[in-house]
């Protein structure tokens, strides 16, 4: 039964490490941009939007459709970077764990 106890202890360790990694994702910031940096979106690695910066030159009624497209593009860019940062953090956390091939966390 010692082997089962070892597996349970390892599972609890993995769960604690996973919780730490998830918490750290909120402190990692990424910035998405579009329009050559005219629209920027800051987000956490968890994907929470922290701020939006829009260049003053885009604040014209005639530029509204372009501005809307740039905001959407910057949001998507920030989301992609947040996903990449999250995957990188989770890979660091699982590095060295004796997981079966192909098993991914979180379960």
SS3 label, residue 76: helix
- Ranges of the chain with pLDDT below 70: 1-2, 94, 96-107
Question: What CA–CA distance (Å, rounded) separates 35 from 37?
Answer: 5
Report pLDDT digits (tens) over 46-65: 888 999 999 999 889 998 99
* pLDDT given for residue 32 in this prediction: 93
Q: Would 104 be classed as within a structural domain?
A: no
CATH number at residue 32: 3.30.1310.10
Is residue 16 one of the residues assigned to a domain?
A: yes
Q: Residue 99 falls within a domain, yes or no? A: no
Q: pTM of the full predicted structure?
A: 0.64
Domain that holds residue 77: 2-94
106 lies in some domain: no
Number of domains into which the chain is organized: 1
């Amino acid at each position: 039964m010692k082997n089962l106890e070892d597996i349970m202890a390892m599972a609890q360790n993995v769960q604690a490490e996973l919780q730490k990694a998830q918490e750290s994702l909120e402190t990692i910031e990424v910035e998405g941009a579009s329009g050559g940096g005219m629209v920027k979106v800051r987000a956490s690695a968890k994907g929470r939007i922290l701020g939006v910066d829009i260049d003053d030159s885009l604040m014209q009624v005639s530029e509204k459709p372009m501005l809307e497209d740039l905001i959407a593009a910057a949001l998507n860019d920030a989301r992609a970077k947040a996903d990449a940062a999250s995957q990188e953090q989770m890979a660091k956390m699982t590095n060295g764990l004796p997981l079966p091939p192909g098993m991914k966390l979180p379960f």
